[in-house]
A = this chain, B = another copy of it.
């Protein structure tokens, strides 16, 4: 019940243990197509260029940035936690001139602040984290995407923790580039980064003056591997793709709306239980994620000791705070398979026991 990896369904683990075939075997190529199709359904997009990058969520971030940023480009980045900070660092490594739109950790990025930065900077790209895993803040996207497009900029969205746990509508919101991870609300082991690029983003990647600085993540090369030509690029992680195939099947079998509602309901149950224990959530109610709950550590309670007891005595993992929230919060994940009423109840009982003695 930490910030990920979440629990994984037995059928996903079983899929992962199937014998290997070659990555250019017709059976695997068929599976690649099915994964692309299911990812499109989960991202709610028709983007052809939708596939899992062969690395973890952060490799998905790097994939978007190295392909879409050229040296000297101005970019605007929302920074309200660890992952916005990481985006700014990464954009600088791509040679961007970075304008940060900062918000306190635990709060969302406001469209008005993005508008001011866009006005000042004339950026080529605007990037925001949808669900800040480090704080539990849930930034609304539609207005920010519109501002980016009105200024002629590409809009990039981090959905590592949101995808599968709350609404992500890539086409409706006109997100140009999006990345996620497998180990949060998709409940698949970590190791792949689902990504999707829209037509404007692909155009930018194809028209670059400079070569993409990464060979491993160059979409112009990956397009031929994941596209119809199947030109050898790298060797896709076969077993991880078996697992993702089954995890996506489970997500779609449940249905996106049902799955989102499940995350909402368990979050509300957790919130109620925490309140009964006299505990508060860090993020204001209207800005709060369902799948990642940052709980304020009460005065006089030793943060790390409680986490350790939860793990040792109750076999429950939760996460620590990072950056300015280190030592001040617990991060309780209700992601994918982990997001069950029984887990909420078990956690509340265990936490109560740890706080009383």
Contact = CB atoms under 8 A, between A and B. Distances in A.
B54 A237 contact: no
Interface stretch (A9-17, A150-158, A194-202, A293-301): A9-17
Given A56-B54, A62-B216, A317-B21, A191 B190 contact: no
Contacts of A26: 311
A213 interface: yes
Interface string A177-190: 00001010000011
Nearest to A221: B89
A306 interface: no
Contacts of A2: 22
B20 A189 contact: yes
A201 B215 CA distance: 21
Nearest to A26: B311
Nearest to A63: B216
A343 to B, nearest CB: 14
Interface string A1-31: 0101101100001101111111101100000
A7 B18 CA distance: 11
Given A62-B216, A191-B240, A232-B322, A16 B16 contact: yes
A118 B146 CA distance: 54
Main secondary structure of the interface of A (DSSP, over half): loop
Interface residues of A, number: 55
Given A55-B216, A93-B211, A235 B4 contact: yes
A243 B90 CA distance: 30
A56 B213 contact: no
A295 B83 CA distance: 50
A238 interface: yes
Contact of A190 (B23, B59, B86): B23
A174 interface: no
A212 B93 CA distance: 7
B86 A189 contact: no
Given A54-B59, A189-B240, A240-B240, 8 more contacts: A26-B311, A61-B215, A62-B215, A93-B211, A93-B212, A190-B236, A190-B238, A239-B243
10 contacts: A5-B23, A20-B189, A26-B311, A56-B234, A57-B234, A92-B211, A94-B213, A181-B235, A189-B240, A191-B237
Interface of A: 2, 4-5, 7-8, 13-14, 16-23, 25-26, 54-59, 61-62, 86, 89-90, 92-94, 181, 183, 189-191, 211-216, 232-240, 243, 311, 317, 322
